Amino acid sequence: MKKILIVFGTRPEAIKMAPLVNEFEKHADSFETRVCVTAQHREMLDQVLTFFNITPEYDLNLMKPGQDLFGLTAAIINKLKPVLDDFKPDYVFVHGDTTTSMAASIAGFYAGAKICHIEAGLRTHNKYAPFPEEINRQLTGRIADYHFAPTTAARENLLKENTPLKNIQVTGNTVIDALLQSVEKVKKQPSPLVQQLNHQLQDAPVLLVTGHRRENHGDGFIRICEALKTIALERPALQIVYPVHLNPKVLEPVNRILGNIANIHLIEPLAYHDFIWMMDRAKIIITDSGGVQEEAPSLGKPVLVMRDTTERPEAVYAGTVILVGTNTQKIIKETNALLDNQQHFNDMSSRHNPYGDGKACKRIAEFMRSLVLETTNV
């Protein structure tokens, strides 16, 4: 029996890895699977673990106030050593582009484990955008032994970097697995917060906003807020819901510019299940999040992306998202176009989601089972 250690530390990673944990638990005859969380995020991470009924065997609890990338990277590597020494995994699974993924892949490599990279092959080819995620993902990709790419475009990126084709599997994105498993559960069991929001919003059209990227801090967020202010004042019937990230560099401009506008609802960050409901309730989503670019098209929601470049160009090509950057006028123009032109809205909301069908985790588990059989028979 092979040992699998699944490592993650942030809420987005937890959402995308949770269905994989559940899938591997179905194959207890082939794998002993354990979960290690670094708690790079703490409270938001715990909400997801509770929602998906996952109890980690290892919790490094590394989150500290004011923690920088230097300290975090060093802490993850150092704290993972005892875990790796204890469990001695054959395979370490990491996800995406976080500091946890990059540092855990280094630690797993040092320990002699094979590294398996979920959501592999995404690239902007600009190491400063997003920062530090682009380099985290590239470094993880160089260390990884097996690459689970969400799309054929991601596979092509890996092939251009001389990754062996036999070590790449195109699976779709596990976030779609999580989304499709969750959306019906959320509808059947609405939280008290969802019930409150539903009462406040009534039947009004909703614009959902999320934003936190480092590269947008400063002038970028000021321009974003000015665009939202203009849209809100010009369209009093439109309700703008903005779960505001707790980073002071986000909180300050958002509260200062948008805090006293009647149809803008500035709320605390939502738990995963509440955010799923909110996405499903929204008419349009404006975001700088990578995960939302993947999730929203499965719910038929047009997405305006507040970034100048994206490591998920498939969504741009498929027409499910539009890049607007932090350009005030472009955000206003594209939002108005979707609100005023029903044909344009219908076209964008009905496009095929390029990120999968909700069976990514099954494909990953099947590949690992075949890999184990292959190595056993050699």
pLDDT digits (tens, 9 = 90+) for 52-110: 999 999 999 998 888 899 999 999 999 999 999 999 999 999 999 999 999 999 999 99
Enumerate the domain spans of the chain. Answer: 2-172+359-377, 190-349
Q: Check if 133 is active-site.
A: yes
Of the candidates 150, 173, 151, 257, the residue with the CA atom closest to the CA atom of residue 209: 257
What is d(CA 39, CA 76) in angstroms, rounded to the nearest whole number? 10
From the candidates 13, 97, 274, 311, which is the catalytic residue? 97
Residues 6 or more apart whose Cβ sits within 8 Å of residue 163? 141, 147
**Mean pLDDT, residues 194-201:** 91
Q: Which CATH architecture has domain 2-172+359-377?
A: 3-Layer(aba) Sandwich (3.40)
Taking the C-alpha atoms of residue 44 and residue 66, their distance in angstroms, rounded to an integer, is: 17
Residue 377 pLDDT level (bands cut at 50, 70, 90): low
- Look up residue 260 and give its two tokens: 């006293």
Would you call 212 a catalytic residue per the annotation?
Answer: yes
Told to judge if 119 belongs to the known catalytic residues of this protein, a careful annotator would answer yes
Catalytic residue among 214, 217, 235, 281: 214
Three-state DSSP string of 203-268: CCCEEEEECCCHHHCCHHHHHHHHHHHHHHHHCCCCEEEEECCCCHHHHHHHHHHHCCCCCEEEEC
Active site residue 273: no
CA 81 to chain centre: 26
**pLDDT given at position 40:** 79
Distance separating alpha carbons of residues 113 and 115, to the nearest angstrom? 6
Chain segment 17-56, per-residue pLDDT in tens: 999 999 999 999 999 999 999 997 788 789 899 999 999 9
Residues of the chain with pLDDT > 90, as a percent, come to 79
Over residues 215-235, mean pLDDT: 93
Marked catalytic residue, from 27, 217, 235, 245: 245
Question: CA 316 → CA 216, 297, 343, 344, 361, distances in Å?
Answer: 20, 11, 18, 15, 24
CA 192 to chain centre: 25
For 158, residues 6+ apart whose C-beta sits below 8 A from its C-beta are 120, 121, 141, 147, 149, 168
In this predicted structure, what is the pLDDT of residue 80? 98
Residue 267 — pLDDT band, cuts 50, 70, 90? very high
Nearest to 153 by CA among 302, 355, 362: 355
With residue 172 as reference, give the H or E element that holds it: none
CATH 3.40.50.2000 fits domain 190-349: yes
Q: Across residues 279-297, what is the average pLDDT?
A: 92
pLDDT bin (cut points 50, 70, 90) of residue 378 is low
Mean pLDDT on 160-167: 98
Note the pLDDT tens digit of each residue in 325-341.
999 999 999 999 999 99
Catalytic residue list contains 252: no
Mean pLDDT of 128-140: 94
Q: What is the mean pLDDT of residues 148-164?
A: 97
Mean pLDDT over residues 171-176, rounded?
A: 95
| Residue from 212, 213, 273, 312 carrying the catalytic annotation | 212
Question: Around Cβ 205, how many Cβ atoms within 10 Å?
Answer: 14
Buried b (16+ CB within 10 A) or exposed e, 97-115: bbbbbbbbbbbbbebebbb
Q: Which two tokens stand for residue 248?
A: 């002071």
Active-site hit among 23, 133, 311, 334: 133
The catalytically annotated residue of 13, 23, 119, 294 is: 119
Q: Do domains 2-172+359-377 and 190-349 have the same CATH topology?
A: yes
CA nearest to 212, candidates 357, 315, 352, 326: 326
- List the single range of 49-53, 181-185, 371-375 with lowest mean pLDDT: 371-375
